[in-house]
Amino acid sequence: MSSLSMAVSDTLVLAGRNLKRIPRQPDLLIAYTVQPVMFVLLFVYVFGGAIQTPGFDYVDFLMPGIIVQSIAFGGFVTALGLSEDVQKGLIDRFRSLPMSRSAVLAGRTSSDILLNLLSLAVLLAVGFVAGFNFDSTIGKILLGVVLLLFFGYAFSWVFALVGLYSSSPETANSIGFTAIFPLTFASSAFVPVASMPNGLKQFAEVNPFTTVVDAVRSLWLGTPANSDVWMAFLWCVVLIAIFAPLAVRRYRVVSA
Amino acid sequence: MSAPAILAEDLYKSFGETEALRGLSLTAEEGTILGVLGPNGAGKTTAVRILTTLLAPDAGRATVAGYDVVGDAAALRAKIGLAGQYAAVDENLTGRENLEMVGRLYHLGRPAARERAGELLEQFSLTDAADRPAKTYSGGMRRRLDLGAALVARPPVLFLDEPTTGLDPRSRNQMWETIEERTAAGTTVLLTTQYLEEADRLADRIVVIDHGNVIAEGTADELKDRVGGERVEVRLEDSGEVERALGALAGLGPEQPVADDGWVRVAVAERKGAIAEAVRRLDGEAIGIDDVVLRRPTLDDVFLSLTGHVAADGDEAAENEEVRA
Ligand SMILES: Nc1ncnc2c1ncn2[C@@H]1O[C@H](COP(=O)(O)OP(=O)(O)OP(=O)(O)O)[C@@H](O)[C@H]1O
Ligand SMILES: [Mg+2]
């Protein structure tokens, strides 16, 4: 078997493994869909009245932001799963097999795409109920969906590295929620960057979350795109180019 | 003669301050079982991890099935099966799914992987539980599933790190039979164990390691001969007569008799007539005998005399658990 077809076949076997596990861990699935829904309701109905978004209904402004945040955190399943695999010795088993060295990680990150598609559908459904509407062409809306899934995939590689450096799922959890989660708030996801104090504002402007959120807004709501859309795709490529090799390198030496 | 299936030369490995391996060398000829015996922390698992390509040695070299464990690691992995010290099964998959997944990762192809999974489930008495998630399995069932995973591709070299720890006697016997079947079919096995009885029963050769180094090696018989020949052991009716019994038995063998826990032991040079002579001497002194046996030294005796402590040392086991946690 050629090394490429081996990598593809091994990745599919492992992605299949991850997908089989999902319905058997209903708690994970619930956390995965209920939490973003809670966020939508919280922001629209609790904070929404207090946040000024000139030119938009808050729910229209919010939905792209909250969807980008949830999708980026979809990869969290990868961090939890990998740290558990390390702890339980499964990574040792995989590393002793004549399989592709990237397949365990690629299997994880690619099965995240399906989970993310699911969470996107749930979020949009809740968004419509809360009053969200697209204001764009079907082609641009779909490009927005592609961008979201690509960004989610890129973030899965970030979380793959987090998972491999965490000695337990609990550690992965705390790295995710103390180091990465706050980054999503220091962006244009929930409030306009213009309303932020100096310092934070400059940070938010260069934060890739802002770029991606603004790109999705332009694709879904028809706001001026400027360079955001292609910059957003570029960010995804850059994240993968940095984190995928780091994660694979870590995988080759990791031990419980 | 062909090259040994497992050859390790002068392996060193440190974890920070801890020197886990300090010049470990060992060999196993094709089709034989090598027993690696050693107390907690001796370096058994570290050696297995190096030989299965999971860990690179700091120094030294090793080949398995002719492949260098560092340079030819990728090719080597197709030739080995590993059952690590802690059962590595995916708890959310069923037993059958676990084995099929491993089969497909050995690239057996889907139908062959499925068939092989069925065979192994049967062989390890897991058929009834085959379609339940492994998280519902008992410790022993997980262990058996893990062993099954190591055997999926019928690899020519098997590494089993304490394969029967936590198994009940029936499962242990089954496991021993499975291992013997594999070697009868030409497989080479390296097996670490804390159970001397297990090494005695299975291993063609044994290496005893302590502090990362081989301290003795040979067949079980050779090791036992190193601690001396057979011994007569007598239990007295009245333990108050120990002193007199020691006197009566002095000179029966080359060494002085010793007393321990109501038994008096004496090593004898010659098996023949030893019991009769011991009984005659004690009878002559009118010392009552409750029980008398003639036995070969066990590997426990070997272990004790080589390392100065017994094989499964409770305190050290607890200490080791802490290190892993
Ligand atoms: N990853 C690691 N990091 C730090 N120290 C380690 C690591 N792995 C092993 N050690 C140390 O190396 C030594 C040898 O450990 P090893 O696991 O090889 O022993 P062992 O013979 O398998 O013991 P046991 O019978 O308890 O399984 C021990 O002192 C252990 O604490
Ligand atoms: Mg060990």
Which tens digit of pLDDT belongs to each residue from B6-38?
A: 999 999 999 999 999 999 999 999 999 999 998
Q: Is the Cβ pair B84, A89 closer than 8 Å?
A: yes
| Between residues B80 and B263, the one the model is more confident about | B80
- Indicate whether B101 and B245 sit together in one domain: no
- Looking up residue B241, the CATH number of its domain turns out to be 3.30.70.980
Same domain, B267 and B315: no
| Residue bearing tokens 């936590």 | B166
pLDDT for B196 equals 78
What is the rounded average pLDDT for all residues in chain A?
Answer: 90
Binned at pLDDT 50, 70 and 90, residue B311 comes out as: low
Does residue B214 contact residue B60 with C-beta atoms inside 8 Å?
no
* Predicted pLDDT of residue B320: 39
User: Does B319 have pLDDT greater than 50?
Assistant: no
Q: Would you call A154 exposed, middle or buried from its count of C-beta atoms within 10 A (0-12, 13-18, 19+)?
A: buried
**Mean pLDDT value across residues A91-111:** 94
Nearest CA, atom 24, ligand 1: B40
Separation of CA B201 and ligand 2 centre (Å): 20
**B151 with B21, same domain?**
yes
Using pLDDT thresholds of 50, 70 and 90, give the confidence band for residue A171: confident
Burial of B270 (0-12, 13-18, 19+ CB in 10 A): exposed
pLDDT of residue B103: 97
Token readout for B101 is 């997944």
Classified as helix, coil or strand, B33 is strand
- How many Å lie between the centroid of ligand 1 and the Cα of residue B221? 29
Residue from B24, B36, B45 to probe ligand 1 pocket by mutation (most atoms less than 8 Å from CB): B45
A215 vs A74 pLDDT, higher one: A215
- On whether both B24 and B163 belong to a single domain, the answer is yes
pLDDT digits (tens, 9 = 90+) for B145-192: 999 999 999 999 999 999 988 888 888 888 899 899 989 999 999 999
pLDDT over 90 (residue B102): yes
Residue B165 CB less than 6 A away from ligand 1: no
Average pLDDT across chain B, whole number: 88
Total domains, chain A:
1
Asked if residue B254 is part of any domain, the answer here is yes
Residue B316 has pLDDT above 70, yes or no: no
> CATH no. for residue B165?
3.40.50.300
Residue B43: C-alpha distances to residues A234, B23, B150 (Å): 48, 11, 21
Structural domain includes residue B304: no
Residues B108 and B188 in one domain: yes
Shortest alpha-carbon distance between residue A98 and chain B (Å) = 5
Q: Is the pLDDT of residue A38 over 60?
A: yes
Mutate to test the interface with B, among A97, A111, A171 (most CBs of B within 10 A): A97
pLDDT band at B308, cuts 50/70/90? low
Nearest chain B residue to A100, by CA = B105
> Does residue B135 sit in the same domain as residue B259?
no
Residue ranges of E strands in chain B:
6-15, 18-28, 33-37, 59-64, 67-68, 80-83, 157-161, 188-193, 205-210, 213-218, 231-236, 258-260, 263-267, 289-295
Q: Is the model's pLDDT at A8 over the cut of 90?
A: yes
Is there a single domain that holds both residue B125 and residue B241?
A: no
Q: Classify B41 in phi/psi space as left (phi over 0), alpha (psi -120 to 50) or beta.
A: left
Q: How many domains does chain B have?
A: 2
The set of residues, in sequence order, having a beta carbon less than 8 Å from that of B234 and lying 6+ positions away, is B245, B249, B263, B264, B265, B278, B282, B289, B291, B292
- pTM value is 0.85
Sheet with B157-161: strands ordered across: B80-83, B157-161, B188-193, B33-37, B205-210, B213-218
How high is the ipTM of this complex? 0.88
Q: What average pLDDT does this structure show over A196-212? A: 92
User: So what's the pLDDT on residue A23?
Assistant: 86
Amino acid A82: pLDDT: 93
Residues B100 and B238 in one domain: no
Assess whether B199 and B286 both reside in one domain.
Answer: no
pLDDT at A102 over 50: yes
Average pLDDT over residues B298-312: 67
Average of pLDDT values for A70-82? 89
For residues B196 and B113, membership in a common domain is answered with yes
Same domain, B88 and B144: yes
pLDDT tens by residue, B265-284: 888 877 788 889 899 999 99
Instruction: Count how many Cα atoms sit within 13 Å of the Cα of residue B114 in the half-sphere of its side chain.
Output: 3
Cβ of residue B318 lying under 6 Å from some atom of ligand 1: no
pLDDT at residue B314 is higher than 70: no
Arithmetic mean of pLDDT, A190-197: 88
Inside any domain, residue B220: yes
> Could you give the CA distance from residue B24 to residue A238 in angstroms, rounded to a whole number?
45
pLDDT band at B325 (very low <50, low <70, confident <90, very high): very low
pLDDT at position A4: 87
- pLDDT class for B307, splitting at 50, 70, 90? low
Residue B210, classed as helix, strand or coil, is strand
Q: Is the pLDDT at B321 greater than 50, yes or no?
A: no
Residue B129, amino acid: A
Ligand 1 centroid vs B18 CA: distance in angstroms? 9
Domain around B208 = 6-224+309-324
Q: Which pLDDT value is given to residue B61?
A: 95
Residues B142 and B48 in one domain: yes
Q: Which is more confident, A167 or B136?
A: B136
pLDDT given at position B183: 92
Across B235-247, average pLDDT: 89
Where does the pLDDT of residue B46 fall: very low under 50, low under 70, confident under 90, or very high at 90 and above?
very high
Q: Is residue B1 part of a domain?
A: no
In a 10 Å sphere around its CB, with 0-12 CB exposed, 13-18 middle and 19+ buried, how is residue B278 labelled? buried
